[in-house]
Every structure is written in structure tokens, then in C-alpha cells.
Amino acid sequence: MALIDLRNISKIYQMGSSQINALDDLNCQIDKGDYVALMGPSGSGKSTLMNIIGCLDTPSKGVYSLNDTNVSDMTDDELASIRNIEIGFVFQSFNLLPRTSAIENVSLPLIYAGVPKKERLDRAKKVLEKVGLGDRTDHKPNELSGGQRQRVAIARALINNPSIVLADEPTGNLDSKSSLEIMNLFSKIHQEGNTVVMVTHEEDIAKYAKRTIRMIDGKLADQLIVK
């Protein structure tokens, strides 16, 4: 059974007197353990699809099942709970708290989950070690390089052992050397059994994925599976 199952998904935005069909009767399945790159030109609907997969938005029509749970009609509070349990987010701009240390940034999702402080920090330290930052736990974002900041963001995404890691242009703010290091880290994360869905506009970054989904005008244009 698919981990992510999108059936007849449409997303319609009302802009004055006109309607924008950001997603148009889209069907897509992503299995547990998959590594998918989501590509398409500006306005293709890939960001809207990412927001729906990440439970940041809900479809206007259709059914979205995540881990065999229908999340299409959930309330904002229910979606927030699902996001914290099931999904780890990695953003282009890192989205770290600037005055907070790496270990505190990483442990943040555990505060919302009600985990005691000692356990939060112990788990955060282990995940930081996993991404190669065991010696940077007390550093604040402005004391870290761009690649190191993204590693902190990846550690934060992994802290709750989510069903899916969603990455939105994860190398967009990085130089080529840091980009290579981050993509090798995503490959390692996938090899350890994690499901990764990544939005990118760069073909060389998409090649790290095992499957590429291309979008145009709110529909799937084609799907390339890498053997």
C-alpha cells in the first residue's frame, strides 16, 4: 500500500472573479522507502502539491491518504499534529531560530510532542552526530556555514523519526561543494529506510532521487523511474 496516496486531487484558488486551478484532478502514489524528485516550471503546481503532501494545505477536491489515514478533511489542529508526527521538513532557507543553538533548534519538534528536556537534548545530540555535527551542538546559526545550517535543519527533520522527509529546494542557498555534501547525506538518509520527497528545479540534483515526477499545469507530465 502507498505511503502517500493522492486520488483525483484538485486545488482551486479564487482570484477575484477568476479561478486558478493549481492542481487539476491529479493522481499520484509514493511508496514507503521511495526517493522522489518533484520537478516542473514555475506555476506547474509542484509547490502546491508539496504543501498538500506536507499537510500545510488541503485539497479543494479529492482524497489524500497519508500512512493509510485520510487527511483531506482534517482540521488545522489535526493537521498540525500529523505534521509533527509524520513529516520532517527541510527548507531552502533553513528556517532556524537565529538566537538558538543547534541542539535547541533540532530539539524544537520534541517540545511540541511533550518530550521531557533531558530526553529532547539527548535525542537531538544523537541526530546531530548522525549528520556530522556532533562537535557543533552549541553553535548558533550565524556561527555555522550554509552547509552546516542545512545539516542542522535535516537533523531537526529527522528528530521525530517521521514517515516522510520533505525537502523544498534543499540546496538552493548552497555552493556546489556544500550541495554535494547535502545530497550525499540525503542519499544516506534514504538508504537507511527513510522516504524522501524533494522539490528541485535542478536536473543534477534530481538525479540523486530514484524516481522523478514532472509536473505541468497542475498535472503529472511524466514519471521517470531510475533502475
Please say whether the beta carbons of 108 and 156 come within 8 A. Answer: yes
Under 8 Å between Cβ of 225 and 210: yes
Full-model pTM: 0.90
Three-state secondary structure readout of 75-113 = CHHHHHHHHHHHEEEEECCCCCCCCCCHHHHHHHHHHHC
Q: Residue 42's pLDDT is what? A: 87
Domain count of the fold of the chain: 1
Res 225: pLDDT = 58
Q: Count of alpha carbons within 13 Å of 141, Cβ hemisphere only? A: 16
Residue range 98-156, pLDDT digits in tens: 999 999 999 999 988 889 999 999 999 999 999 999 999 999 999 999 999 999 999 99
Domain of residue 208, CATH code: 3.40.50.300
Q: Domain residues for 178?
A: 4-225
